[in-house]
Structure 1
Amino acid sequence: MQKYTNAKKVLVATDCIIFGFDGWNLKLLLVQRNIEPEIGRWSLMGGFMEPDESPDAAANRVLEQRTGLKNVYMDQLRVFGNPDRDPVERALSIAYFALIDIHQYEKQLSDEYHAEWFLLDEVPELIFDHNEMLKLAHKQLMYKAALHPILFQLLPEKFTIPQLQALYEGVFETKFDDRNFSRKLLSTGLLVKLNEKDKQSSKKGAFYYTLDKSHYIKNFNAFLNLVPNPDKFF
């Protein structure tokens, strides 16, 4: 078999930025690194791609091995290739971000790598260039959420409008007007109102809604106007 004799080999890794929603707060899933260098420090979920794997397959395998999570929404972010990003060997990283409902997957988390959820404003300093990955992933998440209903991937099967508003406010790190947000949300036609209320948050309670999945898929690429003045975030 012919080989490229003059080419030097470069390692390729995948790293996963996993955003989760617990019903009221947006969080990031991290693990403690169990090898040198930087052993014991907090890290994104990462691992090296095998010769017979595609980047997507490697990202899914690494995610399942490190956390026990599988079949979650993931989107490729970009390649990080600074020559000195890894102090051990020359290594590229193909970064992905994932969106999950924390309560749906909390029992699947593997204890082996000490996975732990952090509020975004309490994320510790991460290894290598992982802080840069997180920053760009958050920006990409805001960009997509301003245009499409991507954040519904973070919600449980039934949810309230205040919970959905808390999710959007957590992603965009700002406060939305309650009435305008509710009005715009209901006008999308994405929600189905249930005859059930959440009585834990207030005496009056808030009605639960569920996502109209057929309408969601059909209109996923339609412009979503839930975020006022989206240009100020980018």
Structure 2
Amino acid sequence: MNEQEFLAGYDPTAYPAVAVTVDVVALTIREGALHLLLIRRGQPPYQGHWALPGGFVRPTEDLATGARRELAEETGLGDDRMRRIHLEQLGSYGDPDRDPRMRVVSIAHLAFAPDLPDPVAATDAAEAGWLPVTALSGRQLAFDHARVIDDGLERARSKLEYTPLATRFLAPEFTVSELRGVYETVWGQPLHAGNFHRKVLSVPGFVEGTGTSTERGGARGGPRAKLYRAGDARLLHPALLRPDREETIR
């Protein structure tokens, strides 16, 4: 039997139906705090529960395209700004009973971006909003999204150790102090300003100077701060470890 004959007689209904969805753990920093994009479901299942933005993958989409579409629908961002968002696959979630409708496998994605606008709830959502990560405790989350969020937060915190993705939370030009603020916000730990400055500038390709400075000094009237942009490094060597992990490794 050749392939054409095999496909002609192949019956996909002979196997249990399985649907594929995408969910997005979208993170941004607002007012000095790490925020997560959530929607309140407007229809069953889990009506009234908070959930990650996501939905079923369309027949003509690949997984990344589906994730970007779902994120664009909730944020109202156009193609130009969507291209600036870092999006990567986080993991797959396929417990048989994770969705009461049918067997649904979700491919979760993690997104980082600066200055994302207030979301606009899609037609199947009752509400959408950026919620501080510190305010998630006690909220009723749909499906297995609490687990997905925990995995996404740990991935984000780990990525900041060995990749330059912290720069994705910032404008194209930034100060080392602003970069330190990203690390402190995502890690939830204060960092020594001088040590951080030294470490950042010692990592080849992490940041590069722009040759310019801020227009004015700090809040106490100090000297103007130098401006930097993201360098060409893809991995940080040496890595910038979280303070608690530094103690463990020692």
TM-score where L is the length of structure 2: 0.80
Question: Given that residues 75 and 98 in structure 1 are in contact (C-alpha distance below 8 angstroms), is that contact kept between their aligned partners in structure 2?
Answer: yes
Question: Given that residues 187 and 242 in structure 2 are in contact (C-alpha distance below 8 angstroms), is that contact kept between their aligned partners in structure 1?
Answer: no
* Matches of 1:48 and 1:233, distance apart in 2: 42
* Deviations, residues 20-46 of structure 1 (Å, cap 9, x unaligned): 023622211111212112222211101
Question: Given that residues 198 and 208 in structure 1 are in contact (C-alpha distance below 8 angstroms), is that contact kept between their aligned partners in structure 2?
Answer: no
What is the aligned partner in structure 1 of residue 38 from structure 2?
A: 30
Q: In the TM superposition, what is the alpha-carbon distance from 1:58 to its structure 2 partner?
A: 1.1
Moved more, 88-97 or 171-180: 171-180
* Matches of 2:50 and 2:216, distance apart in 1: 36
Shift of the 227–59 alpha-carbon distance from structure 1 to 2, 3 Å rule, reads same
> For residues 41-80 of structure 1, what are the structure 2 equivalents within 5 Å?
41-69=49-77, 70-71=82-83, 72-80=85-93
* Matches of 1:233 and 1:68, distance apart in 2: 43
Matched residue count? 227
* Deviations, residues 74-104 of structure 1 (Å, cap 9, x unaligned): 11011101111112221110000100102xx
What is the aligned partner in structure 1 of residue 167 from structure 2?
A: 152
1:192 is aligned to 2:209? yes
Cα-Cα RMSD:
2.5
SS in 1 for 2:15: coil
* Matches of 1:22 and 1:199, distance apart in 2: 22
Which of the two has higher C-alpha Rg? Answer: 2
Shift of the 201–86 alpha-carbon distance from structure 1 to 2, 3 Å rule, reads farther
Name the amino acid aligned to 1:17: V
**Structure 2 unmatched runs, 5+:** 1-7
Q: In the TM superposition, what is the alpha-carbon distance from 1:161 to its structure 2 partner?
A: 2.3
Question: Given that residues 25 and 167 in structure 1 are in contact (C-alpha distance below 8 angstroms), is that contact kept between their aligned partners in structure 2?
Answer: no
1:168 is aligned to 2:163? no
Shift of the 46–207 alpha-carbon distance from structure 1 to 2, 3 Å rule, reads same
Question: Given that residues 163 and 235 in structure 2 are in contact (C-alpha distance below 8 angstroms), is that contact kept between their aligned partners in structure 1?
Answer: yes
Q: In the TM superposition, what is the alpha-carbon distance from 1:186 to its structure 2 partner?
A: 2.2
Residue of 216, 220, 223 corresponding to 2:234 = 220
TM-score where L is the length of structure 1: 0.85
Q: In the TM superposition, what is the alpha-carbon distance from 1:121 to its structure 2 partner?
A: 0.9
Question: Given that residues 39 and 121 in structure 2 are in contact (C-alpha distance below 8 angstroms), is that contact kept between their aligned partners in structure 1?
Answer: no
* Matches of 1:165 and 1:88, distance apart in 2: 44
* Matches of 2:248 and 2:170, distance apart in 1: 23
* Matches of 1:165 and 1:37, distance apart in 2: 41
* Matches of 1:88 and 1:142, distance apart in 2: 33
What is the aligned partner in structure 2 of residue 110 from structure 1?
A: 120
Name the amino acid aligned to 2:128: A
1:181 is aligned to 2:222? no
What is the aligned partner in structure 1 of residue 149 from structure 2?
A: 134
Question: Given that residues 23 and 163 in structure 1 are in contact (C-alpha distance below 8 angstroms), is that contact kept between their aligned partners in structure 2?
Answer: no
**Structure 1 unmatched runs, 5+:** none
* Matches of 1:233 and 1:66, distance apart in 2: 40
* Deviations, residues 36-61 of structure 1 (Å, cap 9, x unaligned): 12222211101001122211111111
1:90 is aligned to 2:103? yes
Question: Given that residues 218 and 224 in structure 2 are in contact (C-alpha distance below 8 angstroms), is that contact kept between their aligned partners in structure 1?
Answer: no
* Matches of 1:78 and 1:186, distance apart in 2: 33
